[in-house]
A = this chain, B = another copy of it.
Amino acid sequence: MKKTLLLFAAMFLGLSAFAQQALYGGPQTESPVINPDGTVTFRIQAPKAVKVEVTGDFLPTEKVEVEFNGQKMTYDAPGVGVFKEGRGGVWEYTTPFKVAPELYNYSFRVDGQTVLDPNNVFVNRDVASLTSLLLVDEPGARSDLYAIHRVPHGTVSKVWYPSATAGFDRRLTVYTPAGYETSKAKYPVLYVLHGIGGDEDAWVTQGRATQILDNLIARGEAKPMIVVFTNGNISEEAAPLENSTGYTRPTMSLPQTMEGTFETAFPEIVKFIDSRYRTIAKKQGRAICGLSMGGFHTLYITLNNPDMFNYSGMFSAAIGTGSEEKAAHKEIYENIDGKLATYFAHKPALLWIGIGSTDFLIQSNNEFRAKLDAAGYPYKYMETDGGHIWRNWRIYLSEFVPLLFK
């Protein structure tokens, strides 16, 4: 009996001793470590490696020039930190600066091969890419909204709706705020849309949206609301791993994303949500926002349904990219001046625009705002540091949500 207990303990509690080494590769070193002085140390055991680097969005960006389709462009690439080898083949890198509170993505490069930090179990999937996660939290900092606190938690559900447009069931992520299930009240609904590199999981993983909602509601800074995270690729049932195409590699060549079909089909999602949940099923109880492609979707869904949403938020919206020219549903993108006039004549409570000062989309957003200014249409605007990055989208969501349904 004692031997069985020992073996049981060995198999499960002492896995790192041997069994875990075999299949799982147990942790050999601690990484990442947030040091008392606010710097962060990364480690990896790689005795035979020649060069080990870390790259991630906690490092200052570097200008990189690339050639794409014969055109030269520059973009802001994450910086690189170079490890030094220490005892036992453990490589180490410590940031030469205090890392500001934020949620970061990073990965290692061992002799040119990109790998996750093997000592960090916190991994984010962004469509077909995995990165390690680092949360530097500080009470009072905005990052505190991204952490889980002992406050009432909403329910997060994966719900399938029948899409007449797609011809099959499609998956949504739905947040119902704490208290929804035991209340008889009707709730307003916020629809939150992802970018072209995302799916119905993106806002609740990288976006930390359900933590932001839990925390803002608990602080009394936001109204309790239902939040619906859609999948903006109408040709997909659901995120990778969660659809009937099986364990095939997700690709970045996404059909039916910015050519009008999703915008045309959006009212069927609103109809489903209004039938399934206790909603305030009218304009005053509805908001919509989205990042990048989702900001583009937000604009056109709003303009083509001027009585549907009282609040619209465009986060780094991917407008002016020319995708409208190849649209399957050209009518969605036509007569924008007329649609803007109708939309503003219906007096929406809020059009909110946010973008980073170095975002490659800032010019087209500036042109759009100039058009609004020229016509005297009201909107709120926020410009932040940095570019087309999740840090900004989490900020925009946490700024936008407190303005809703007041």
Contact = CB atoms under 8 A, between A and B. Distances in A.
B111 A49 contact: yes
Given A30-B249, A125-B123, A149-B244, A320 B46 contact: no
Copies in the complex: 2
A164 interface: no
13 contacts: A4-B360, A10-B73, A11-B360, A12-B196, A12-B197, A18-B68, A18-B75, A22-B64, A135-B246, A148-B246, A153-B160, A157-B157, A160-B178
A237 B276 CA distance: 29
A185 interface: no
A141 to B, nearest CB: 13
Give the 7 A-B residue pairs with the shortest CB-CB distance, closest first. Answer: A25-B114, A5-B322, A24-B129, A157-B157, A48-B111, A8-B321, A5-B321
A19 interface: yes
A44 B110 CA distance: 13
A148 B12 contact: no
A95 interface: no
Contacts of A276: 181
Contacts of A134: 247
A21 B75 CA distance: 13
Interface stretch (A50-58, A226-234, A336-344, A372-380): A50-58
Contacts of A44: 113
A177 to B, nearest CB: 12
A171 to B, nearest CB: 8
Nearest to A388: B11
Contacts of A318: 8
A275 B339 CA distance: 48
Counting chain B CB atoms within 10 Å of each CB, which of A11, A26, A169, A197 scores highest? A11
Contacts of A35: none
